[in-house]
Amino acid sequence: MQDEIINKVAQSKLITFNLEDYYPKGERMVLDIKDWLYEGFILKEKEFRAFVEEHDWSQYKDAYVAMHCSTDAIIPGWAYLLLSVKLSGIAKKAVQGSLVDLETSIYQSIIENIDVSEYQDKLIIIKGCSKKPVPANAYLFLAERLKPVAKSIMYGEACSSVPLYKRK
């Protein structure tokens, strides 16, 4: 009689936390203002404001928007504030920076709002591989958020996890 194969991972009390499950739906868009600058480098207030007024803001409806300038121009802070005011109530979220900055900001908000009480005294594995663009900082935010409640935190997969924290 052969021994039965037992899946110890399935029987364990490990909880896998997959940040990919929290990836919000919605188009990600980049608003590059370089074309709104004189020769791509100089912001002239009157012309810039004209571009802002004439721009079709409806295209950002329910999107996540990363605002930036792809040239080395020095952009005054009020310019991005003006853009964010225009995007307010249209886009789901707008940030100054890259798409990575955008995803980081999105995940930071999500992780700050997770009810971690259900993870009290639990053994947690933060799943490392994802098919969606989960930013590296999201893993840091999550580990920091879970540490006060978790019994232990690991990273990876149940079959090959890396220990990160164990409460004494």
Q: Determine, yes or no, domain membership for 152.
A: yes
Q: Determine, yes or no, domain membership for 145.
A: yes
Report the distance separating Cα 105 and Cα 137, nearest Å: 9
Q: Determine, yes or no, domain membership for 20.
A: yes
**Cβ within 8 Å of residue 17, ≥6 positions away:** 119, 124, 125, 126, 127, 142, 146
Q: Which domain holds residue 133?
A: 14-24+116-166
Give the pLDDT of the chain (168 residues) as one tens digit per residue. 567 755 454 546 899 999 999 999 999 999 999 999 998 899 999 999 999 999 999 999 999 999 999 999 999 999 999 999 999 999 999 999 999 999 999 999 999 999 999 999 999 999 988 889 899 999 999 999 999 999 999 999 888 889 999 998
Q: Determine, yes or no, domain membership for 106.
A: no
Residue 129 has a pLDDT of: 82
Using the 3D structure, point to which of 36, 57, 91 is the last residue of a domain.
91
Same domain? 46 vs 85: yes
pTM: 0.84
Angle at CA of residue 150, ends 147 and 156, nearest 5°: 80
Give the pLDDT confidence of 40-53 residue by residue, as tens digits: 899 999 999 999 99
